[in-house]
Amino acid sequence: MSILIDDSTRVLVQGITGSQGRFDTEYCVAYGTNIVAGVTPGRGGQDVNGIPVYNTVKSAVDVSGATASVIYVPAPGIKDAVLEAVDAGIKVIVALTENVPRHDAAIAVAATRAAGAWLIGFNTNGMISPGKSKLGGIGGDRANELYVPGRIGVCSRSGGMSAELSAALAAGGYGVSSCISMGGDPIIGNDMVEYARMFEDDPDTDAMLFYGEPGSENEQGLARALRDGEITKPVVAMVAGVFQESHPAGLSFGHVAAMIRSADDSASAKQKLLSESGAHIAHRLGEISELLKKRLG
């Protein structure tokens, strides 16, 4: 199994006629993703490599039966694109756009939650269930090499580190059930602990691997779930950014949300909290498989 998407997921692409939408769609189709429709207002009736294009998400869903969408829309239009997908009944939405205005992001997140939909992003490179389906640019044309099918659930605040983590798992003899690049913007659709709950319920996920950063309360939420016994499967966590603690508070490095505002936001504090809550802390990529072997054999 996997979480959120598999080989039966019917996917539409909002903004498919743009250069990035076309580029990623080609790789997704080559990987095996079941992309059934595209949407670009005013381009209805066209096609992109044989994929029909519609003017609205509703018309695309009515014809194709799509249940997931990946969105390539600039920041000023991302709120409306997400709301349109929600109104059409889409349940898994991958929004790659970064630096989304916070008011717009808050509205989009509230709408997806009210509809019981999942919003991956903002500022993500996508998600993948290896050997089944991928949404967004994750893995590029090397997805088969980087993301080996297996039984470890991966969730990362960094899109680039999703590939590094998954490659490290493969090098250690493990593979990935699903990998989520959750997004690096200050306001994102779902928290780390929500993905942990899905992995906890997935019978084909034996353990979880998380990549954290300074800033946000994602790691704190995961720690609470571990302490409360809500998450019982082994958790390995890697929290980068200790160097940031030598710089003045209020500066972001990399992702805009990776900002230390208080001592609890630091990588060191999160490492300590997660360790005390039962997670196994990896300080180097090579330690990940070693820690998993201690728990899984």
How far apart, in whole angstroms, are the C-alpha atoms of residue 36 and residue 12? Answer: 6
The two three-digit tokens of residue 51, written as one number: 């994929």
DSSP 187: S
Question: Does residue 243 carry a pLDDT above 80?
Answer: no
What mean pLDDT comes out for the span 270-292?
Answer: 97
Q: Write out the E strands in 40-95.
A: 47-48, 51-54, 68-71, 92-95
How far apart, in whole angstroms, are the C-alpha atoms of residue 156 and residue 239? Answer: 10
Which residue has tokens 């493969």? 170
Per annotation, catalytic residue among 103, 255, 280, 283: 255
Report the first-to-last Cα separation within the chain, whole angstroms. 21
Q: Which pLDDT score, from 0 to 100, does residue 96 have?
A: 98
CA quadruple 28, 33, 36, 37: dihedral sign: negative
| CATH 3.40.50.720 domain residues, the chain | 1-126
Give domain 1-126's CATH superfamily: NAD(P)-binding Rossmann-like Domain (3.40.50.720)
- DSSP SS3 for 225: helix
The model's pLDDT over 76-104, given as tens digits with 9 standing for 90+, comes to 999 999 999 999 999 999 999 999 999 99
The two three-digit tokens of residue 47, written as one number: 């096609």
How far apart, in whole angstroms, are the C-alpha atoms of residue 162 and residue 147? Answer: 9
Q: Which pLDDT score, from 0 to 100, does residue 247 have?
A: 75
- Told to judge if 247 belongs to the known catalytic residues of this protein, a careful annotator would answer no
Share of the chain above pLDDT 90, in %: 90
Question: Does the pTM of the predicted model rise above 0.75?
Answer: yes
Question: Does residue 268 carry a pLDDT above 80?
Answer: yes
Question: What's the CATH code, domain 148-297?
Answer: 3.40.50.261
- DSSP SS3 for 264: helix
Q: Which residues pair with 119 in a beta bridge?
A: 93
The model's pLDDT over 38-66, given as tens digits with 9 standing for 90+, comes to 999 999 999 999 999 999 999 999 999 99
| CATH 3.40.50.261 domain residues, the chain | 148-297
Q: Which pLDDT score, from 0 to 100, does residue 261 have?
A: 81
What mean pLDDT comes out for the span 274-293?
Answer: 98
- pLDDT, mean over the chain: 95
The model's pLDDT over 132-174, given as tens digits with 9 standing for 90+, comes to 999 999 999 999 999 999 999 999 999 999 999 999 999 999 9
The model's pLDDT over 116-129, given as tens digits with 9 standing for 90+, comes to 999 999 999 999 99
